[in-house]
Amino acid sequence: MNLLELGSTVKTLRKERGLTQETLAQQADISRATLSKLENGHIAQVSIVTLNDILNHLGYELDVKPLNPFESDK
């Protein structure tokens, strides 16, 4: 999932829960502008901690699995 898809998913989940950007941003302790940039794919980086915090407030958790560069794709 790329950052644009991730942002779109966050936006959809936020709207499904009836939350404004301002409310979710306050809950996740980030600015509304940062959340807006994330939702629209205009942010270069977002920390895993911040992303996990946003998703937790939406009722989800982040599941990160590191890729092994030495393992072949079969």
pLDDT in tens, 27-64: 999 999 999 999 999 987 888 899 999 999 999 988 87
pLDDT of residue 66 exceeding 70? yes
SS3 53: helix
pLDDT score for 73: 61
Structural domain including 52 reads 3-57
The dihedral sign for the CA sequence 11, 8, 33, 63: positive
pLDDT of residue 8 exceeding 80? yes
pLDDT score for 67: 79
Task: Give the total number of structural domains in the chain.
Answer: 1
- The token pair at 7 is 């942002």
pLDDT of residue 9 exceeding 80? yes
CATH number of the domain enclosing 39: 1.10.260.40
pTM over the 0.85 mark: no
